[in-house]
Amino acid sequence: MQSPPSPEPTQHPSQRPLNRQDIKTLSLAALGGALEFYDFIIFVFFTTVIGQLFFPPDTQDWLRQLQAFGLFAAGYLARPLGGIVMAHFGDRTGRKRMFTLSVFMMSVPTLLIGLLPTYATAGYAAPLALLVLRMLQGAAVGGEVPGAWVFVSEHVPERRVGFACGTLTSGLTFGILLGSLVATAINKLYTPEQVLAFGWRIPFLVGGVFGFLAVFLRRWLAETPIFEEMRQRRALVQELPLKAALRGHGLAVLVSMLLTWVLTAGIVVVILMTPTLVQKLHGIAPAQALEANTLATLSLTAGCIAFGMLADRLGTARALGIGCAVLLVTTYVFYRGVAARPEHLAPLYALVGFCVGVVGVVPTVMVRAFPAAVRFSGLSFSYNVAYAIFGGLTPLVVTLMMKSSPLAPAHYVATVCGVGLLVALYLRSASAARYAVVPPA
């Protein structure tokens, strides 16, 4: 049954259920997000091989590894610029164009990386070309993540925004899991010599091809109703959208950056760093740590959806507060539990991984923090700049803290969860009522 027309030009009826078009939009957005994040993250699983192939053979191992990780980090440095530029046009010309362009911009460099000549063939041109392609990947993902959040949130009913953003975030995290599984499969199917010879190329070639499939599928998505209404009413921002967002919505920028810090703490520390940390701290075998990490990442994909639905039911402020509290507790339970009983690694990791799903609430707050006219630019600037800062500093800070305590990762996550709790309290205040949806009666 078709939903009735909206009484307000920029909003959906808040009470209607998700319809078939909403489900189609969410499915294609989550699928494209998973494939794009896979393309971005697959690099990290082959840094050792890339270091051997793209730098002089007489380079010391530690330097070669450092250079390879430097190429990986270059993608993160390019995220703010790419996100800001794409968000500018997203606010001026349409969400759909940028939403499709971002996955195209990721597919092309991913495919080309799989076709690149190595140092043995092209000399120093090989790592330079890889650097350029890696920065293009970073620019693409910088526009994809905030663009996807804005796109799905403007398609679904207001009281389903939490579910939509949680589902999209779940798709992004599934891309990390997909990259891990593909890398594991390549290393099991081929010998180390075969991986060096050709095997490392396969994940990039496959990612590029599937990325073009995502581009094709996204052509069938419609522009968001909110943007179409703004365009028809000539209500689009006339000045630089980012300038308008920073001048009139500084508090929203601050809230969004603090919540991005919460997101990076959960993802970077608990999901990305922990497999290595438990190996060093508790002597757990690499294979066992990676298997537990796979389980934790799978739990995270479910947790994002669960916390997104909780935001729709209880409101974003309460869902954020509950999520930060349980993440704080379960992080300590995990690190203390694994230290005492290493054999409980898998279930404890699955538990804390699910609680990291509170990151599914973060985009719901951010899309509501900015008015539609500058939403893409405000969210993209806040998220990408904060992610570049906190994502880059977190590993360094945690490593330095570990000189004083083996529970340093838990202390760090707990501190940032405390920041999240303070933000949740602010969101519940009367002055911030516009950030949180009143739960259904």
- Residue 369 maps to a domain: yes
CA dist., res. 437 & res. 357, Å (int): 19
Question: In the chain, what percentage of residues exceed pLDDT 70?
Answer: 93
Q: Are 221 and 361 in the same domain?
A: no
Give the best-scoring range by mean pLDDT among 104-108, 176-180, 228-232: 104-108
Whether residue 400 is found in the same domain as residue 298: yes
Q: Which of 134, 104, 142 is nearest to 116 (CA)?
A: 134
The per-residue pLDDT for 16 is 67
- Residue 168 inside a domain? The answer is no
What is the full DSSP assignment across 247-266? HH-HHHHHHHHHHHHHHHII
pTM of the predicted protein model: 0.84
Cα–Cα–Cα angle for 367, 368, 370, nearest 5°? 80
> What mean pLDDT is reported for the chain?
86
Do residues 206 and 290 both lie within one domain? no
Q: Look up the domain containing 137 and give its range.
A: 20-160+188-236
> What are all long-range contacts of 242-246, with beta carbons under 8 Å and residues at least 24 apart?
242/84, 242/87, 242/88, 242/374, 242/377, 242/378, 242/381, 244/373, 244/374, 244/377, 245/370, 245/374, 245/377, 245/378, 245/381, 246/378, 246/381
**377 and 414 within one domain:** yes
pLDDT tens-digit readout, 391-405 = 878 888 888 888 888
Same domain, 68 and 111: yes
Instruction: Clarify whether residues 322 and 215 are in a common domain.
Output: no
CA distance 267 to 246: 27
Say what percent of the chain tops pLDDT 90. Answer: 43
User: Do 93 and 124 have their domain in common?
Assistant: yes
Of the given ranges (62-66, 202-206, 434-438), which has the lowest mean pLDDT? 434-438
Whether residue 8 has pLDDT greater than 80: no
Q: What is the pLDDT of residue 168?
A: 93
- Is residue 318 scored above 80 in pLDDT? yes
Total domains present in the chain: 2
pLDDT, residue 225, reads 82
State whether 301 and 433 are in the same domain: yes
Closest CA to 56 of 117, 113, 119: 119
Judge whether residue 1 has pLDDT over 70. Answer: no
Residues 80 and 46 in one domain: yes
In this structure, is residue 12 part of a structural domain?
A: no
Extract the tokens encoding 13.
């009826």
**Would residue 197 count as lying in a domain?**
yes
Answer whether residue 2 shows pLDDT above 60.
no
Query: What span, in angstroms and rounded, lies between the C-alpha atoms of 377 and 61?
Result: 42
- Is residue 420 in a domain? yes
Segment 210-239 shows an average pLDDT of 81
Does 10 map to a domain?
A: no
The pLDDT of residue 323 is: 97
Question: Residue 229's pLDDT is what?
Answer: 83
Residue 273 falls within a domain, yes or no? yes
Give yes or no: residues 124 and 198 share one domain: yes
**255-306 pLDDT, tens per residue?**
999 999 999 999 989 988 888 788 888 888 877 888 898 899 999 999 999 9
Q: Residue 175 domain-assigned?
A: no
- Please give the angle made by the CA atoms of 230, 231 and 232, to the nearest 5 degrees: 95
In this predicted model, what pLDDT tens digit does every residue of 14-24 receive, in sequence order? 566 777 888 88
The mean per-residue pLDDT over the stretch 164-189 comes to 89
Same domain, yes or no: 318 and 396: yes
For residue 93, count other CB atoms closer than 10 A to its CB.
13
| Integer Cα distance of 389 and 405 in angstroms | 24
Amino acid at 220: W
- Residue 7 confidence (pLDDT) above 70: no
Q: Are 228 and 244 found together in one domain?
A: no
CATH number of the domain residue 74 falls in: 1.20.1250.20
Question: Which pair of structure tokens corresponds to residue 308?
Answer: 């997104």
- The residue out of 218, 236, 254 marking a domain boundary is 236
Of 236, 268, 292, the last residue of a domain is 236
The count of residues in the chain is 441
Which pLDDT score is estimated for 352? 97
pLDDT digits (tens, 9 = 90+) for 60-110: 877 877 788 778 778 878 888 888 888 888 888 888 888 788 889 999 999
